A and B are shown apart, each in its own frame.
Chain A
Amino acid sequence: MASIARPTTQTIARPVIQAPSGLWSWLTTIDHKRIGLLYGVTAFILFLVGGIEALLIRTQLIVPQNGVLTADQYNSMFTMHGTTMIFLAIMPLSSALFNYIMPLQIGARDVAFPRLNAFSYWVFLAGAVILNMSWLFGTVPSQGWYGYAPLTDNSWNPTRAVDFWMIGLQVLGVASIAASLNFIVTILNLRAPGVTMMRLPIFTWATLITSIMIVLAFPSLTVGLILLMMDRFTGTHFYAPAAGGDPLLWQHLFWIFGHPEVYIMILPAFGIASEIIPVFSRKPLFGYAVMVYALAAIAFLGFGVWAHHMFTTGLGPTVNSVFASSTMLIAVPTGVKIFNWLGTMWLGHLRFTSAMLFAVGMVSMFTIGGISGVMEAVVPIDQHQNDSYLVIAHFHYVLFGGSMFAILGAIYYWFPKFSGRLLNEKLGVWNFWLTFIGFNATFFPMHFLGLEGMPRRYYSYGDHSGWAFWNHIVSFGSYLLAASILVFLYNVARSLQHGEIAGDNPWDAPTLEWSIPSPPPPYNFREIPTVTHRDPLWAAKYGEGHAEEQALDVTVGGKTIARSQAPDESPAREAARRDPVEENTHIHMPNPSYYPLIAAFGLFLLSVGPLFDEPRIHYESLHLPLFSIIGIIVLLLGVYGWSFEPAETPE
């Protein structure tokens, strides 16, 4: 396909480059902003699905001996809740922000491989569909998101449930690695002139380091899942002790991936907080370089702590102490980041907009989760707390209190850039406080429950366990949390129609994404900017001395509350910057392409083949799944079409 004709509106005299519309344009889009939106909307829907699963879990546990869910259904709920929230909600929500914001922050017109980017999204969607297809066939995974052997063994889990889970994760791994390779090359190679590595916004640094972690951590999961597939499909015994296998091998392979995964989920949140807090403190980020080194240190140490998930498996005192020490060591760079955020806020003109509330909420809630994490790094304490509600409390404080708070804050912060309109601040403040109170009511009592000995993953508990009171509170807290998400959804729906028009830079923020119209045109930058400072827009507006305290305007939602002495941009210069680009000027944008979609569909067919007993091609002792064979052909067609498709229309 040579090109997709771009519809031009007849009433405009000059044909201006516009985003094409319609379903086909979304299916073939390779625009990083659209792919970011696709990621975001899909992941938020899946976040709601995971939330409903959590609400069912909490409804089951609201009173002792409740009968809302059976034990099997309960197992499915916590398995799907964990898998969905980690792989289908938090990771792709971060990915959505990476996609949309990162190229804008480095002054690029798109990512380095736009079609690979589209492919990543469609493969992610395929993985999400495969995992959730299990609901339709009544074989919902129930072995837990960690999938410990031998629970995943054929003899313990003879149905297709584990197959849906392991193949779904395998496909999601392909999507994550493809997307991350793309982000790494983009950040290293597509920076605008003057954007040196040490001038990158911290969010872009977080994107880079998270992507490197994904690229290095996922192969371990891939191999773990391959061995599981061999066990389940070909009858090997990698994880079966009776025949010489070792169930602990799975735990090692899984946590060598799984612990970096924890940082893969939290580093984007650190990046977001590092963007929001300086803007609403009206001060440049405190200790920029150290923030970068801390991110890198966390990522590096994150690969050397996996066995702290295995303190009760009998690795021996030496191994346990080593991993306990390396785990505690991670608290150092993390603490450095927290103090740098505090340092940024110190003596700043603080403006508690919704975005700032969520960012500060993230810092404080994450700190609580971090501290309970250090507690659990102490081996004897961990051996008591292992598999209790204290662990649940800990990782929800870092994953919800950390990652989700930051992501919600990021949506309040960048929504004007996505949509051109501000989210309603009043509703936003309501949203924050409901989330904050609901979150703490849900997860703080879990510390008490854990210390009182309530185990995780139990679908019911006795009348005389003494756990009923706190479980009441926890469940009501979770309903409050659900209500806060409803407020958020209402805010988004309302603001899309009636929100205040944002303008280019409603927060008077310093990074490049705020220098272009909201929403950005397809080509992002009319002229690729040349950057001379770390906070380019503040340097341009306030001059070199912008780092001095109280030199910045205090702007909230487009309204200037307090003014600095710096002159605003001249109207002529602003008009020139905003002038839309005509179609015949020389901005080469790659063409839309349907090959990524075809290749992803091929991979989907290839992957679902083994999940069904029929249709199969029977040849001697082989039973080849027909879908997979068709899938390989479609995948090859997609890849070859993609390889030989000209990326741009020749002139």
Chain B
Amino acid sequence: MDLQRINVKFFVENPDGILLTDFIRIFNSWIQASDGEYYDIADYHHVHAGPGVLLIAHEANISIDNTGNRLGLLYNRKQPLSGNNQEKLDFVFRSALEFCRRIEEEPAPQGKIKFGGNEFLFLINDRLLAPNSAATFRAVSPDLEKIAKTLYAGAEFLMDHRNDAREIFAVKVKSLVHFEVLELLHNLQDHGELKKEGSWDTTRSLSK
């Protein structure tokens, strides 16, 4: 399966007291610091358990998402990625975790926001490519397991998939060991460097 429209969500560890509206200001500062990368901000803090506040861009949207009543950072890749599945996953996870790190470093009024690294939701936002079925899970599992092993540096983890043809394909991955966002980024980095010594060409742009 050629993985596309990959989404990853890392959950906030300390959601109490976090105001979604604070992210409008945070995302606006990101826009000001960028050079035309981000398109706009969409504010849906008024809806229950919704997409929260989104930072819209051409390639991917980033949002402080409250779907399922669980606050987290959702990285929603929209444009196609090239490379093999591991390269795509590496790119998506690295991007998502970088945004988590960036948010953790923001001086939010309530204090620092922490993302739990030991759990994430992996989604494919394309019902045609990836219907939410056991067959899709079988097809995706090897690649997902591989990236999870890299992220968790060999620590044990569980993959939870529920068949529901109506929902988009989603797998919850949870490690039994606690991880910080920075640790996951380091694990990806270490793995990338190991690969670099081998056959991977990490300098290649993954976006088409």
Q: Do A and B bind each other?
A: no
B-to-A contact residues, CB < 8 Å:
none
A-to-B contact residues, CB < 8 Å:
none
